Amino acid sequence: MESAVWIILLPLLTAFFLGIFKLYSDKLFYSLVIVSMVIYLYLLILVINDSYPPKVYSIGNWGLLGINLMVDSFSAMFLLIIAILFITVIIFSLNYIKVNKHKFIILTYVMIAGIAGMVLTADLFNLYVFLEVSSMSSYALTAIKKTDKSIESSFKYLIMSTFGSFFILLATILTYYLTGTLNMAEISLEFKSVPFMIKSTIMFFFIFGYGIKIGLVPLHAWMPDSYEASPIPYNVLSSGLVMKSAIYALIRLLYVIFGVEFLTESGILNIGVFWGVLTFIIAHTLAYQQSNLNRLLGYSSIAQIGYITIGLFLGNEKGLIGGSFHILNHGIMKGTLFLVLGIFYYSLKADEIEDIQGLGYKFPVLSFTFVVAALAIVGLPPFNGFISKWLIIEAAIEAGFFYAAFFILVGTFLSLTYYLKVIIKLYTKTEKKTLIEKPDLSLKLPTFFLGSLCILFGIVPSLPLSLINNIPKFLLNNSEYIRILLGG
Amino acid sequence: MSRVHKIFRKFYKIGLVLFLAIFLLFIFDEIQNLDIKRYLSEHYISEGVQETGAINLVTSVLYDYRGFDTLGEATVILTAAATLSFMTPIKKVKMLGTEFTIIIYQTIIIIIPFLVVLGMNLIFFGHISPGGGFVGGVILAMIPILVTINYGITFSENKLKPNHKSLLEGIGAIGFILLGLLGIFAGSNFLASGQANFGLGNPGELISAGLIPYLNLMIGIKVGAGLAAIFNSLIKEG
């Protein structure tokens, strides 16, 4: 399982080498970006293929004394999202980014290393360190345009997110103090003898801290602002990976460390489902009022996170499958929407709903891609969003949360209203003559790739589901996960 | 009305803080009374010297048992420098011109060699005495910082160019990873030193503890360069 550690090391190493190369030669810089991307894709496929049954890699060969990495199906699905989004975003931004291009690429590599570390690690403090790596680079990427607005939003993001990190660190420290170990499997075993009250407090700290990073209402305030001010390729990664890696970490901690029995007993599953419903209802209504497309998509991301939260907090097998599948689907759909918006912005600086009027006739294929992704995110068949949403609704009914299932349908109609508003605007004829910079193929190709995945995963959902179906085995029944992690 | 409102807000904040503090007090009190196992730290204390070869236990945990965290922390410093350089606005504000007396200018020149020696000592003896790469790097970063404060940013950047700082930072980070990869090439896992049969030597000697002294050096270079860059990017715009 040597390749697991390379998943973290390769982007880090690349980022540091790029930092040196940018001082001397542009040619070397870009060839390294391409070469390392291709190798990384190969490594990711290798690790994803080898993810079942789970593998453990011990850093420094210390076994339980040191840090362990573990690849199971849940982390493999995240590696799949990294593989899809990272490649497209890097190709897209090679042409798109004009300001601070070198630093954008370097920081993106660092961020990917952080997210890969969060996804792979089986150690509580290591998780915190990589969480900091990924959020630190997110702050920098939000502020990368250096306009007043981007600095303000990045500062807001930094303050709120650091507040969340503080709670996560506090909970980590308390956990270490209580159990004397940082290995997730051992913590889980030791936690059985910790009093209920203390365990609940630690869980509350974790949920509050990660809630800010995930962007659950009312802890979401930083997100739309940061979307409006940051470069659009970063938004793809932010909504597809940064938020998602936080919810990954939270779910991993809750299900592995606390165990599903404690979650049911403490009632947090009910709270989580209710919180998810609250989040998407509020986010949908807020999204309806936006005039800026970046903010609209940002609120839509928060709403989708609400669906994912419901799915993952249902505590049954179907819910975990549906929630995880929606994580993957939302990354792809939102990525498509943002990339199309990016091309509009690149060509004619359009990111308000008013500005995109009539673009459906100027960019027929791109607009069609936008419509496909918008309908997919609303949840209409035959696109991928429909299937994962359907799974979540089914799981909610199975678990007895009828109100959640009902409100998901309501939310679907709410999201249909504002996405229809955008689509109608897109196909409204206008007399306005605008100067258009032609986007070239390197911008269009990644967009079409993501858009075609929306249709592909909708028609053949068994492709990703064959990977995702294994996820509940190691989350619902944490003793399996613990056995593999302890057994080495 | 607004005054009442103001007072209410003030008390509301104080009340919230007090409530959380009392709540935490009870939690911590309960934790104090628990019977807790500490096998991990006991193992580090009793076996750490034999297993890693470093007398300084902090170093042995930081660079051997949990070396991977150190790599992550060093990366955080690098990204923090980048974040700072973006978040300081472009608007130039005139810096407070401070003129020092000749005594200070002269003393700085005398102090700098001592700082170099102290920093290097902390880095190279990190595994056998208190110190280590992080502390040593901070001491080394003080030199460019002192120069910047006393002689101004232009002089300091002329002496140690920003490009060189980022080059040094990159070298430190790459060196750390490459040293870690030695473990893989030796047939063990990433960042293995004693486990990959690199000679641990006699604990207490300068050349001992396998890879730890070299990892210390790399972290020292990286932290020093990173902190100096952070300081300069703060003061440049301030």
CB A233 within 8 A of CB A87: no
Phi, psi (degrees; rounded to nearest 5) at A451: -65, -40
CB A83 within 8 A of CB A31: no
Query: Smallest CA–CA separation between B100 and chain A, in Å?
Result: 34
| Chain B stretch 102-161, residues whose beta carbon is closer than 8 A to a beta carbon of chain A | none
- Rounded to whole angstroms, the Cα distance separating A172 from A176 reads 6
The residue in chain A having the minimum alpha-carbon distance to the alpha carbon of residue B37 is A180
Report whether pLDDT(A334) > 80.
Answer: yes
Q: Which of A316, A351, A337 is nearest to A471 (CA)?
A: A316
Report which listed range, A220-234, B81-95, B145-159, is most confident: A220-234
DSSP SS3 for B36: coil
Q: What percent of chain A has pLDDT over 90?
A: 60
Cis link prior to A231 (omega < 30° from 0)?
Answer: no
Element housing B178 (H / E): helix B162-185
Residues facing residue A71 across a β-bridge:
A55
- Rounded to whole angstroms, the Cα distance separating B153 from B148 reads 5
Residues facing residue A121 across a β-bridge:
A69
- Which residues of B are less than 8 Å from A126 in CB distance? 66, 68-69, 72
| Chain B stretch 67-96, residues whose beta carbon is closer than 8 A to a beta carbon of chain A | 67-69, 71-73, 75-76, 78-80, 82-83, 86-87, 89-90
Q: How confident is the model at residue B96 (pLDDT cuts 50, 70, 90)?
A: low
Q: Which two tokens stand for residue B138?
A: 């901070």
Cis link prior to A53 (omega < 30° from 0)?
Answer: yes
Q: Is B34 on the interface with A (CB under 8 A)?
A: yes
| pLDDT at res. A284 | 93
The residue in chain A having the minimum alpha-carbon distance to the alpha carbon of residue B24 is A201
Residues facing residue A57 across a β-bridge:
A69
Report whether pLDDT(A296) > 90.
Answer: yes
Asked if B40's CB is within 8 angstroms of A181's CB, the reply is yes
| Chain B stretch 1-30, residues whose beta carbon is closer than 8 A to a beta carbon of chain A | 27, 30
- Rounded to whole angstroms, the Cα distance separating A383 from A379 reads 7
| pLDDT at res. B238 | 47
- Rounded to whole angstroms, the Cα distance separating B153 from B232 reads 7
CB B27 within 8 A of CB B43: no
Cα separations in angstroms, A246 against A58, A209, A308, A333, A337: 23, 10, 12, 19, 22
- Which residues of A are less than 8 Å from B79 in CB distance? 107, 110, 133, 136-137, 140
β-strand A55-58 against A68-71: which pairing, if any? antiparallel
Q: Which of A295, A212, A199, A200 is nearest to A247 (CA)?
A: A212
The residue in chain A having the minimum alpha-carbon distance to the alpha carbon of residue B182 is A60
What string of H, E and C letters represents the secondary structure of chain A?
Answer: CHHHHHHHHHHHHHHHHHHHHHHHCHHHHHHHHHHHHHHHHHHHHHHHHCCCCCEEEEHHHCHHHCCEEEECHHHHHHHHHHHHHHHHHHHHHHHHCCCCHHHHHHHHHHHHHHHHHHHHECEHHHHHHHHHHHHHHHHHHHCCCCCHHHHHHHHHHHHHHHHHHHHHHHHHHHHHHHHCCCEHHHHHHHHHHCCHHHHHHHHHHHHHHHHHHHCCCCCCCHHHHHHHHCCHHHHHHHHHHHHHHHHHHHHHHHHHHHHHHHHHHHCHHHHHHHHHHHHHHHHHHHHHCCCEHHHHHHHHHHHHHHHHHHHHHCCCHHHHHHHHHHHHHHHHHHHHHHHHHHHHHHHHCCCECHHHCCHHHHCHHHHHHHHHHHHHHHCCCCCHHHHHHHHHHHHHHHCCCHHHHHHHHHHHHHHHHHHHHHHHHHCCCCCCCCCCCCCCHHHHHHHHHHHHHHHHHHHCCHHHHHHHCCHHHHHCCHHHHHHHHHHC
A216-220, A438-442, B96-100: segment of lowest average pLDDT: B96-100
Q: Which of B38, B75, B87 sits opposite A12 (nearest CB)?
A: B75
Q: Which two tokens stand for residue A50?
A: 């080898």
At B155-189, the pLDDT tens digits run 778 888 888 888 898 899 999 999 888 888 887 78
- Rounded to whole angstroms, the Cα distance separating B64 from B137 reads 19
A137-146, B9-18, B113-122, B193-202: segment of lowest average pLDDT: B193-202
- Rounded to whole angstroms, the Cα distance separating A356 from A370 reads 12
The residue in chain B having the minimum alpha-carbon distance to the alpha carbon of residue A14 is B174
Q: Which of A301, A306, A345, A344 is nearest to A323 (CA)?
A: A306
Q: Which of B37, B69, B166 sits opposite A129 (nearest CB)?
A: B69
CB A9 within 8 A of CB B177: yes
- Rounded to whole angstroms, the Cα distance separating A324 from A218 reads 23
Q: Is B223 on the interface with A (CB under 8 A)?
A: no
At A72-83, the pLDDT tens digits run 899 999 999 999
Asked if B30's CB is within 8 angstroms of A198's CB, the reply is yes
Report whether pLDDT(A154) > 60.
Answer: yes
- Which residues of A are less than 8 Å from B165 in CB distance? none
- Which residues of A are less than 8 Å from B237 in CB distance? none
**Residue matched to tokens 């962007």:** A215
| Neighbouring C-beta atoms of residue A448, cutoff 10 Å | 18
At B99-133, the pLDDT tens digits run 778 888 888 889 999 999 999 999 988 888 888 88
| pLDDT at res. B95 | 57
Report whether pLDDT(A228) > 60.
Answer: yes
- Which residues of A are less than 8 Å from B83 in CB distance? 136-137, 139-140, 143, 154, 158
∠ CA B46-B205-B67, rounded to 5°: 55
| pLDDT at res. B187 | 78
| pLDDT at res. B92 | 56
- Substitution target in B26, B62, B78 with the highest count of A β-carbons within 10 Å is B78
Report whether pLDDT(A273) > 90.
Answer: yes
- Rounded to whole angstroms, the Cα distance separating A325 from A468 reads 7
Q: Which of B27, B66, B76 sits opposite A136 (nearest CB)?
A: B76
Tell me the mean pLDDT in the region A10-25.
90
Residues facing residue A55 across a β-bridge:
A71
At B66-76, the pLDDT tens digits run 889 999 998 99
Handedness of CA A219, A246, A249, A378 (dihedral sign): positive
Q: Which two tokens stand for residue B82?
A: 């980048």
Query: Smallest CA–CA separation between B230 and chain A, in Å?
Result: 13
| pLDDT at res. A410 | 92
**B60 or B200, higher pLDDT:** B60
- Rounded to whole angstroms, the Cα distance separating A197 from B3 reads 40
| pLDDT at res. A371 | 93
- Rounded to whole angstroms, the Cα distance separating A131 from A140 reads 14
**B199 or A426, higher pLDDT:** A426
Report which listed range, A59-68, A189-198, A392-401, A437-446, is most confident: A392-401
- Rounded to whole angstroms, the Cα distance separating A21 from B235 reads 26
Q: Across chain A, what does the average pLDDT equal?
A: 90
| pLDDT at res. B61 | 86
Asked if A133's CB is within 8 angstroms of B171's CB, the reply is no
B22: Cβ contacts below 8 Å, ≥ 6 apart = none
Q: What percent of chain B has pLDDT over 90?
A: 13
Report whether pLDDT(B98) > 70.
Answer: no
Handedness of CA A61, A65, A67, A70 (dihedral sign): positive
∠ CA A331-A335-A340, rounded to 5°: 160
Q: Could you report how far apart the first and last alpha carbons of chain A are, in Å?
A: 11
- Which residues of B are less than 8 Å from A101 in CB distance? none
- Which residues of B are less than 8 Å from A12 in CB distance? 71, 75, 173, 177
- Rounded to whole angstroms, the Cα distance separating A11 from A112 reads 7
A10-19, A85-94, A236-245, B61-70: segment of lowest average pLDDT: B61-70
Q: How confident is the model at residue A138 (pLDDT cuts 50, 70, 90)?
A: very high
**Residue matched to tokens 């967009």:** A447
Asked if A154's CB is within 8 angstroms of B89's CB, the reply is no
| pLDDT at res. B151 | 80
| pLDDT at res. B97 | 57
Q: How confident is the model at residue B1 (pLDDT cuts 50, 70, 90)?
A: low
The residue in chain A having the minimum alpha-carbon distance to the alpha carbon of residue B167 is A20
Q: Which two tokens stand for residue A47?
A: 């690790």
